[in-house]
Amino acid sequence: MTQLPIDQRGAWRALATHAETMRGVHLRDLFAAATGRHAAYTRHAAGLTLDLSKQRWSDETFALLLDLAREAGLPEASRALLDGERVNVSEDRPALHTALRLPADALLVVEGEDLVPGVHATLDRMATMVERFHAGQWRGATGKAIRNVVNLGVGGSDLGPLMVTHALADYRPEGVHRIEVHFASTMDGSQLADYLSRLNPETTLFVLSSKSFTTIDTLSNARTARDWLMSRLGQEEGVDDGLVMRQHFIGVSASPEKMNDWGIAPDHQLEFWEWVGGRYSLWGGIGLPIALVVGMGNFRELLAGAHAMDRHFREAELADNLPVLLALAGIWNVNFLDIRAHSILPYDGRLEYFAAYLEQLEMESNGKSVTHDGREVGYSTCPVLWGQLGPNAQHAFYQLLHQGTQAVECDFIAPLVRYDDVTDEATRDHLMSQHRLTLANCFAQSRVLMLGDDAVEDDGPRPGHKRYRGNQPSTTVLLERLTPATLGALIALYEHKVFVQATIWEINPFDQWGVELGKKIAGETQRILESHQGLEAMDDSTRALIEAVWQAERAAETGLR
Ligand code: F6P
């Protein structure tokens, strides 16, 4: 018997009816009606605390959402994911990023093969590479030790390592040869051009990170980098192109053939598997820049933290399961309270790139409108998600959160303790106090967003522009501290949240067909721009845009003559 679409089944319909009453209820009334909301809606796991008490929900909502998760077959779906079933239906393969963080003594047999030894063999190869860099033994073509590593990658081959290296910069191991890691992703070459103007080619190495090894953005940057190295180093005595290729490039990809074709030395390749999605890939070879900054020991801690969250996700009851609850709060907001905007607000400068990372993770995964069996969904899926550091956002877009017309769900993220290890006492006191100031702002903002005007004593009538509606739901995620392990758990929390939501929405979070057409058409447009042929096939607007480029180029050329 074919299942009815999820929005026509019992729990969804019950939630829709229940939402009619809940839509008129203000958060301040929910707090006024019951004490102990914090305890009722707060859970802990893997060094994280998830406080969902400021969601606009009640015990009845909570129970119905759990029914929805069960009705969507969530327990079975999570098991299928973690056991390596082919959950990525459109590409007919498993999605096994969780295998990348299994401990060495684990066993994961998928379609007859234990995947763990291969995963750990790659980690060991990474460890050997990192050791060589940290010993000052990875030398450029002229014999000087490599000091600067530039990661050339985009999307999942950039955002994960960029976010984590920034977040864990305090965890650099002492007493090793220091490697500065840089990231260049944009196809226009802006970031790369800047590095090329500043870095010494003799001591610079490029990591070509690309799961497919076909991404034009990365390959364009790589070509520019290769020619820069060859033209600079080729004149040195005893240096030839082969030596430059060997000593100045590492490749990370799921395609060893393409790395070979590009000229990456086989022993300078880190391979990963088709069953790891790009935006889920920081846990293996794509994480090389992370390991170069924090060392392999801390990198393994990051994996261990993520694995602790994987175990929690597999084992905890739905009602205590952090990723499940975070996902259900989102479903409630998007599908039943019509809140289709979601802001990510970390209160710790080290998490500067966390929102950008989640933008890809959530929107590339769940920005879909067709179910596994090709049916158009009849409900909303992934909300528009954006964010930046909370303290800076307070001076930028919080105005809209407090007094705009859009309902927005917010995630506040902060570590409880920071700076207690600073050795200089006076500086430590100042910095700890700055951290408390930051936490005060974080807690104050979620409170004001919840209560609105009620956050202050009633001081009589106020004009409209000084009134605050409140009633914006939020989640607070607290980390004991920001460590490799808690960061790993935090990332895994959101990865699984995305999976839970996709399961309920009956969509595939592991493909990204939506970005393919744009790539194809960009290729055609580039051919017209370069060859000056085929313009007539374009629409009126695109034709005019292309002609504007040609005209500007002609004018520049005439000016030069
Ligand atoms: O264009 C989207 C995308 O395919 C992402 O999913 C991916 O993370 C990114 O491009 C980079 O892809 P690759 O690692 O294959 O270069």
- What is the pLDDT at residue 457? 81
- Domain for residue 479, yes or no? yes
CA 87, 89, 93: angle at the middle one, nearest 5?
Answer: 65
pLDDT tens per residue, range 408-423: 999 999 999 999 999 9
Based on the residue annotation, tell me whether 497 is a catalytic residue of this protein: no
Indicate the burial class of 179 (C-beta count within 10 angstroms; 0-12, 13-18, 19 or more). Answer: buried
Query: For residue 561, is pLDDT > 80?
Result: no
Contact call for residues 491 and 159 (beta carbons, < 8 A): no
Our answer on whether the CB atom of 185 is closer than 6 Å to any ligand 1 atom is no
At position 312, the amino acid (one-letter code) is H
Query: For residue 320, is pLDDT > 60?
Result: yes
Alpha-carbon span 410 to 56, nearest angstrom = 12
- Domain for residue 34, yes or no? no
User: Among 186, 210, 211, which is best to mutate for testing ligand 1, by the most ligand atoms less than 8 A from CB?
Assistant: 211
248 lies in the same domain as 130: yes
pLDDT tens per residue, range 148-193: 999 999 999 999 999 999 999 999 999 999 999 999 999 999 999 9
171 lies in the same domain as 279: yes
- In this structure, how many other beta carbons lie within 10 angstroms of the beta carbon of residue 436? 12
Alpha-carbon span 306 to 312, nearest angstrom = 10
- What is the pLDDT at residue 462? 87
- Domain for residue 359, yes or no? yes
Give the ligand 1 atom nearest the CA of 279. 8
Residue nearest to atom 13 of ligand 1 (CA): 210
- Domain for residue 26, yes or no? no
- What is the pLDDT at residue 461? 85
Contact call for residues 327 and 508 (beta carbons, < 8 A): no
At position 384, the amino acid (one-letter code) is V
208 lies in the same domain as 294: yes
- What is the pLDDT at residue 338? 97
Our answer on whether the CB atom of 512 is closer than 6 Å to any ligand 1 atom is yes
- What is the pLDDT at residue 559? 84
Q: Give me ligand 1 centre to Cα 215, in Å.
A: 7
Tell me how many domains the chain contains. 3
Alpha-carbon span 104 to 363, nearest angstrom = 32
**pLDDT confidence tier of residue 458, bands split at 50, 70 and 90:** confident
Indicate the burial class of 495 (C-beta count within 10 angstroms; 0-12, 13-18, 19 or more). Answer: buried
- In this structure, how many other beta carbons lie within 10 angstroms of the beta carbon of residue 130? 24
Our answer on whether the CB atom of 515 is closer than 6 Å to any ligand 1 atom is yes
Q: Domain range spanning residue 531?
A: 514-560
pLDDT tens per residue, range 58-105: 999 999 999 999 999 999 999 999 999 999 999 999 999 999 999 999
- Domain for residue 208, yes or no? yes
Nearest to 343 by CA among 393, 280, 415, 279: 393
DSSP 513-529: GGGHHHHHHHHHHHHHH
Our answer on whether the CB atom of 157 is closer than 6 Å to any ligand 1 atom is yes
405 lies in the same domain as 477: yes
- What is the pLDDT at residue 61? 98
Query: For residue 1, is pLDDT > 70?
Result: no
- Domain for residue 309, yes or no? no
Q: What is the mean pLDDT of residues 320-329?
A: 98
Q: And the tokens for 421?
A: 């290890």
The helix, strand and coil proportions of the chain, stated in percent and rounded to the nearest 5, come to 55, 10, 30
Give the residue from 235, 270, 298 where a domain finishes.
Answer: 298
Q: Give me ligand 1 centre to Cα 273, in Å.
A: 14
DSSP 321-347: -HHHHHHHHHHIIIIIS---EEEEEES
Query: For residue 437, is pLDDT > 90?
Result: yes
- Domain for residue 19, yes or no? no
* Residue that the structure tokens 């607290």 belong to: 478
Q: What is the mean pLDDT of residues 412-440?
A: 97
Our answer on whether the CB atom of 285 is closer than 6 Å to any ligand 1 atom is no
List the catalytic residue out of 519, 524, 547, 553. Answer: 519
535 lies in the same domain as 489: no
Our answer on whether the CB atom of 278 is closer than 6 Å to any ligand 1 atom is yes
Pairing, β 180-184 against β 148-152: parallel
288 lies in the same domain as 335: no
Question: Which strand ranges, in their side-by-side order, compose the sheet holding 48-51?
Answer: 42-45, 48-51, 474-479, 409-415, 341-346, 384-387
538 lies in the same domain as 504: no
248 lies in the same domain as 339: no
Based on the residue annotation, tell me whether 496 is a catalytic residue of this protein: no
DSSP 38-101: HHHTEEEETTEEEE-TTSS--HHHHHHHHHHHHHTTHHHHHHHHHHT---BGGGTB---GGGGG
- Domain for residue 464, yes or no? no
List the catalytic residue out of 364, 409, 495, 506. Answer: 364
CATH number reported for the structural domain that contains residue 448 in this entry: 3.40.50.10490
Q: What is the DSSP letter of 103?
A: -
- Compute φ and ψ for 424, nearest 5 degrees: -75, 120
Contact call for residues 150 and 200 (beta carbons, < 8 A): no
Based on the residue annotation, tell me whether 466 is a catalytic residue of this protein: no
329 lies in the same domain as 398: yes
pLDDT tens per residue, range 227-250: 999 999 988 889 999 999 999 999
484 lies in the same domain as 540: no
Our answer on whether the CB atom of 212 is closer than 6 Å to any ligand 1 atom is yes
- Compute φ and ψ for 437, nearest 5 degrees: -60, -40
Q: Which residues contact 230 (CB under 8 A, 6 or more apart)?
A: 241, 244
- What is the pLDDT at residue 76? 97
pLDDT tens per residue, range 388-408: 999 999 999 999 999 999 999
Alpha-carbon span 301 to 245, nearest angstrom = 32
Alpha-carbon span 237 to 247, nearest angstrom = 15
How high is the mean pLDDT of the chain?
Answer: 96
475 lies in the same domain as 402: yes
Contact call for residues 413 and 348 (beta carbons, < 8 A): yes
324 lies in the same domain as 440: yes
Segment (H or E) for 286: none
- What is the pLDDT at residue 433? 98
pLDDT tens per residue, range 209-219: 999 999 999 99
What sign does the dihedral 293-294-300-305 (CA atoms) show? negative
